[in-house]
Structure 1
Amino acid sequence: MRRRADFIAANRGLRVARPGFVLLAHPNDGKGMRYGITVTKKVGNAVVRNRMKRRFRELLRAALPEHGLPDHDHVLIGRDRGIERDFAKLAQELDEALARAAEGKGDPPRRRPRKGDGGKPNQARTR
């Protein structure tokens, strides 16, 4: 996947979070089994992000033919702890995440912060 619209559409799909990454799976109306990878600047510099993307690419190439969902877009979003995790551990977590996605068991939706909330849980405000 290369188009931004495909990544945005995948964000409406099933979400399975793991310590090293977040997997998004979304039906793509018969376009086949596709994948995309995104790693933000929060994770590290360009060297770190590119290394993480190479690791994710290899993980997906190995896992998708066997465990991927047919006619779905699969997106891996890198997390901070993903670069330091063992490759075998990441592969195991990806297999588990794909199994959960195949069962339709995603994680609950995230709570969006309210305006002015700063993303913090509800707290009593004092002046």
Structure 2
Amino acid sequence: MTPPQTSPIGTDASGDASAAVSSCPPLIVLTQRADFQRAARGKRVAMAGFVLQMLHRADDTTHIGIGYTCSKKVGNAVARNRAKRRLREIARMVLPQQGLAGHNYVLIGRKSATATIPFTTLVADLEKALGILHGPRK
């Protein structure tokens, strides 16, 4: 007996994967040090669990750039990795809907806060920080 056929994750019942994802620009992870330095010269907002930096890119408006960083002040490697995992997850949840294409965002972990604050609070803080950086929507 074979199992019933199900649609893959991210597709609707008709099997069209592009319809579910077409409205969200893709997230591209920043890896170059120069991208982080340019973002540091842009706008920033500090929240309880992280600092969010944003820089508008004029060269490419098709994707959202996202970078994550935690200094040694956050803790040992285990603590830094835990903090970065949480930052990656909140960015994956919030930025496709509320981030703007053509912008780079950098999330910076905070000492003993990023890993300990409740996850729902981090998500709400990221949404609030994006609202502050983008200004009122028209």
TM-score normalised by structure 1 residue count:
0.79
Residue 133 of structure 2 corresponds to residue 101 of structure 1: yes
- Candidates 27, 35, 40, aligned match of 2:71: 40
Distance in 1 (CA, whole Å) between partners of 2:80 and 2:37 is 20
Alignment identity in percent? 45
- Candidates 18, 22, 33, aligned match of 2:47: 18
Residue 70 of structure 1: SS of its match in structure 2? coil
Across the two proteins, how many residue pairs are aligned to each other? 104
Residue 105 of structure 2 corresponds to residue 74 of structure 1: yes
Gaps of 5+ in 1: 105-127
Residue 69 of structure 1: SS of its match in structure 2? coil
Q: How far does the alpha carbon of each residue in 1:11-66 deviate from its partner, in whole angstroms, 9 at most, with x for none?
A: 01110100110000001222521100000000100001001111100100110111
4+ residue runs over 2 A deviation: none
C-alpha RMSD of matched pairs (Å) = 1.1
TM-score normalised by structure 2 residue count:
0.73
Residue 74 of structure 2: SS of its match in structure 1? coil
Q: Which has the larger radius of gyration?
A: 2
Distance in 2 (CA, whole Å) between partners of 1:77 and 1:42 is 11
**More contact order relative to length (CA 8 Å, sep ≥ 6):** 1
Q: How far does the alpha carbon of each residue in 1:75-104 deviate from its partner, in whole angstroms, 9 at most, with x for none?
A: 001111111100000000000001111118
